[in-house]
């Protein structure tokens, strides 16, 4: 027991950090600005749009194909994820009917929990096409489940809707949190937003005196999402794609495009009927004869109104 | 003057910085193996703590918050970095990546311990650092990581066994 304490203390005994008090002081002198985070969100939105445009450009011009976007996924999760179930987390992406929620998964040590959901929200999306409407880092300070209610504690400055945020965006921002923490709790419990110990009457201008519930999936989710592959998954000979969709007659057409945008594989899976989102899964997609490089997996709804994409790296 | 009663955010920041800056950076180095990144993480944690002082108002709570923030942000850095490193390794698979050996036994041992820590799963690494470096109790670790005390115990015993095994392997290789 004691030897580990000695080892760990010794391992960092020669670490003498530089003095950063001045930097910390200068950072804390700036007063927090209520809409500052959303201005930052706007910048992120602009970056995401640029990345989308870039992805399209890259698919037309493979000289740029090696460049990578801001996503920071762990490409090792996927088919060989060991142990505990992953945590679902929801982010905002664009569709032909406006912004909707898309689902991503995160590996966990001990399975999903509201804390894992919060941590995933704070870290942000892996897919560069997604963004967040809710400033989870730093606005959410804690989450717990008591008496059948998920309590999400937020900072007081998210009380009002910032002037550059629309009411539908605010609603979607809250649903992003609701769907994510419900996935963490493992059941669709009502969500009470609080500041300190007390319920807060609004969050981003949306009434929250009473616990709120998840909106109907067909109203807030993208009607097609890809769960696997995760963004930038490295694949060898083949991979299986999975996701959820609500599409006419359950049809989910998919394509794998190379860096030039040329379709190198395509197919269609059936997800079930279109009254709610149904999980879908392809047969193994053989990529053993493809040149190594970056490809894009694309899944759409039958009417092509909803699309989700993932970058796949063939080794 | 009892600390906490009359401190404002700036005073709290200075006191906590004086008392804990070094140990928190060292904690983050144990998690990250990278002093520059560790300093960034801890600097951000102090800034975040300052912003929350109105609800912390207590040096013990503030220190708990600092620890938690340092652990969480270190984990984020590590996950991001893991991707970068794996991509880099994929691009240059034939490069010999054996670590530079400066010939000093102490430095080699430190590097070995930090390498072994990096090889552990996140939770095990965090539990070991909090328990054996910061000397926290099981309850404090459970609170810091937001996990059950039983999980702390399990991660600690698995982590300790894994760390010892990794160090024994390295030792054996070094003797060849």
Asked if A24's CB is within 8 angstroms of B79's CB, the reply is: no
| Angle between helical axes of B105-119 and B149-175 (0-180°, round to 10) | 140
Closest in B48, B110, B132 to A14, CB measured: B110
Task: Give A119-132 pLDDT, tens digit per residue.
Answer: 999 988 988 889 99
What ipTM is given for this predicted complex? Answer: 0.84
* Cβ-contact A54, A93 below 8 angstroms: no
State the Cα–Cα distance between residues A131 and A102, nearest whole angstrom. Answer: 10
Closest in B25, B132, B147 to A15, CB measured: B25
Of the candidate ranges A11-20, A268-277, B63-72, the one whose mean pLDDT is the lowest? A268-277
Q: What is the pLDDT of residue B84?
A: 53
Q: What is the pLDDT of residue A69?
A: 32
Exposed, middle or buried by CB within 10 Å (0-12, 13-18, 19+), for A277?
buried
Q: What is the pLDDT of residue B103?
A: 46
Q: How far is B176 from chain A (nearest CA, A)?
A: 23
Dihedral sign from CA coordinates of A142, A82, A128, B122: positive
Which residues on A lie below 8 Å from B128 (Cβ)?
A: 4, 8
pLDDT greater than 80 at residue A82: no
Both B29 and B90 in one domain: the answer is yes
Both B105 and B69 in one domain: the answer is no
Q: What is the pLDDT of residue A54?
A: 31
**Which residues constitute the domain of residue B123?**
99-176
Q: What is the pLDDT of residue A212?
A: 94
For A128, the 3-state DSSP assignment is: coil
Average pLDDT value for residue range A54-73: 32
Q: How far is A173 from chain B (nearest CA, A)?
A: 23
Both B117 and B155 in one domain: the answer is yes
Both B77 and B104 in one domain: the answer is no
Asked if A12's CB is within 8 angstroms of B30's CB, the reply is: yes
The pLDDT > 90 percentage for chain A reads 46
pLDDT band for position A140 (cuts 50, 70, 90): very high
Asked if A16's CB is within 8 angstroms of B17's CB, the reply is: no
Both B5 and B70 in one domain: the answer is yes
- Residue of A4, A75, A230, A312 for testing the chain B interface, max B β-carbons within 10 Å: A4
Average pLDDT value for residue range A278-304: 90
Q: What is the pLDDT of residue A83?
A: 55
Both B71 and B8 in one domain: the answer is yes
**pTM for the whole structure:** 0.50
pLDDT in tens, chain B (176 residues): 444 445 788 888 999 999 999 999 999 999 998 898 899 999 989 988 888 887 788 888 899 999 998 998 888 787 766 555 544 444 333 323 344 444 467 778 888 899 999 999 999 999 999 999 999 999 999 988 888 888 899 999 999 999 999 988 877 765 43
For residue A193, give Cα distances in angstroms to A111, A153, A155, B108, B115.
Answer: 24, 6, 10, 51, 42
Q: If residue A176 lies in a helix (H) or strand (E), which one and from where to where?
A: helix A167-185
For residue B127, give Cα distances in angstroms to A5, B67, B131.
Answer: 12, 12, 6
For residue A86, give Cα distances in angstroms to A105, A117, A200, A232, B35.
Answer: 6, 10, 31, 17, 31
Look at residues B97, B115, B132 and tell me which one is the last residue of a structural domain.
B97
pLDDT band for position A150 (cuts 50, 70, 90): very high
Name the residue with higher pLDDT: A203 or B100. A203
pLDDT greater than 50 at residue A76: no
Asked if A10's CB is within 8 angstroms of B160's CB, the reply is: no
Asked if B86's CB is within 8 angstroms of A76's CB, the reply is: yes
Q: How far is A246 from chain B (nearest CA, A)?
A: 32
Give me the number of domains chain B comprises: 2
Look at residues B74, B97, B120 and tell me which one is the last residue of a structural domain.
B97
Both B21 and B82 in one domain: the answer is yes
pLDDT greater than 80 at residue A71: no
Q: Which residues pair with A309 in a beta bridge?
A: A298
Both B12 and B74 in one domain: the answer is yes
pLDDT band for position A250 (cuts 50, 70, 90): confident
State the Cα–Cα distance between residues B176 and B171, nearest whole angstrom. Answer: 9
Q: Which residues pair with A140 in a beta bridge?
A: A154
Both B22 and B88 in one domain: the answer is yes
Both B125 and B70 in one domain: the answer is no
Chain A to chain B, count of Cβ pairs less than 8 Å apart? 109
For A226, the 3-state DSSP assignment is: strand
Q: Which residues of A touch B (CB under 8 A)?
A: 4-5, 7-18, 20-21, 23-25, 27-28, 32, 68, 72-76, 109-110, 113, 115, 119, 122-123, 138, 141, 196, 232, 234, 315
Both B44 and B130 in one domain: the answer is no
Average pLDDT value for residue range A42-58: 30
Asked if B132's CB is within 8 angstroms of A5's CB, the reply is: yes
Q: Which CATH architecture has domain A224-314?
A: Sandwich (2.60)
Of the candidate ranges A100-104, A168-172, A223-227, A235-239, the one whose mean pLDDT is the lowest? A235-239
Domain definitions of chain A by residue range: 38-218, 224-314
pLDDT band for position A227 (cuts 50, 70, 90): confident
Check which CATH number belongs to the domain holding B149 and give it. 1.10.10.10
Dihedral sign from CA coordinates of B152, B158, B162, B165: positive
């Amino acid at each position: 027991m004691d030897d580990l304490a000695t080892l760990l203390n010794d391992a960092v005994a020669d670490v003498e950090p530089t003095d950063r008090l001045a930097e910390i002081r200068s950072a804390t002198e700036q007063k927090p600005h209520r809409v500052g985070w959303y201005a930052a969100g706007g910048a992120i939105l602009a970056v995401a749009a640029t990345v989308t445009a870039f992805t399209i450009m890259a698919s037309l011009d493979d000289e740029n194909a090696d460049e990578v976007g801001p996503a920071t996924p762990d490409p090792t999760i996927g088919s060989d994820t060991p142990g505990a179930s992953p945590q679902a987390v929801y982010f905002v992406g664009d569709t032909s009917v406006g912004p909707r929620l898309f689902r991503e998964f995160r590996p966990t040590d001990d399975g999903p929990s509201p804390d894992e959901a919060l941590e995933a929200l704070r870290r942000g999306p892996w897919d560069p096409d997604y963004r967040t409407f809710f400033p989870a880092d730093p606005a959410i300070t804690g989450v717990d489940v008591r008496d059948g209610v998920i309590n999400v504690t937020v900072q007081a400055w998210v009380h009002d809707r910032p002037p550059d945020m629309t009411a539908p965006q605010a609603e979607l921002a809250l649903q992003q949190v609701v769907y994510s923490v419900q996935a963490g709790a493992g059941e669709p419990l009502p969500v009470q937003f609080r500041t300190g110990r007390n319920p807060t009457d609004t969050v981003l201008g949306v009434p929250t005196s009473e616990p709120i519930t998840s909106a109907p999936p067909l109203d807030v989710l993208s009607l097609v999402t890809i769960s696997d592959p995760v963004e930038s998954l490295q694949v060898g000979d083949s991979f299986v794609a999975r996701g959820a969709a609500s599409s006419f007659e359950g049809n989910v057409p998919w394509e794998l495009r190379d860096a030039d945008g040329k379709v190198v594989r395509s197919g269609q899976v059936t997800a079930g009927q279109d009254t709610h989102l149904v999980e879908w899964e392809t047969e193994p997609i053989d990529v053993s004869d493809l040149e190594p490089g970056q490809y894009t997996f694309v899944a759409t709804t039958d009417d092509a109104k909803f699309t989700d994409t993932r970058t796949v790296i063939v080794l | 003057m009892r600390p906490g009663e009359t401190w404002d955010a700036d005073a709290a920041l200075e006191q906590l910085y004086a008392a804990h800056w070094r140990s928190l950076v060292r904690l983050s180095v144990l998690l990250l193996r990278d002093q520059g990144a560790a300093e960034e993480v801890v600097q951000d944690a102090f800034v975040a703590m300052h912003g929350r002082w109105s609800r912390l108002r207590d040096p013990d709570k503030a220190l708990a918050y600092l620890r938690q923030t340092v652990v969480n942000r270190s984990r984020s850095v590590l996950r991001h970095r893991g991707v970068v490193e794996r991509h880099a390794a994929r691009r240059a698979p034939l490069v010999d990546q054996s670590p530079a050996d400066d010939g000093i036994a102490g430095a080699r041992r430190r590097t070995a311990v930090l390498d072994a820590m990096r090889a552990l799963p996140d939770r095990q690494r965090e539990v070991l650092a909090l328990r054996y470096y910061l000397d926290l109790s099981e309850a404090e670790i459970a609170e810091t990581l937001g996990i059950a005390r039983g999980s702390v115990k399990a991660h600690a015993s698995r982590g300790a066994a894994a760390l010892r095994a990794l160090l024994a392997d390295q030792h054996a290789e070094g003797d060849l």
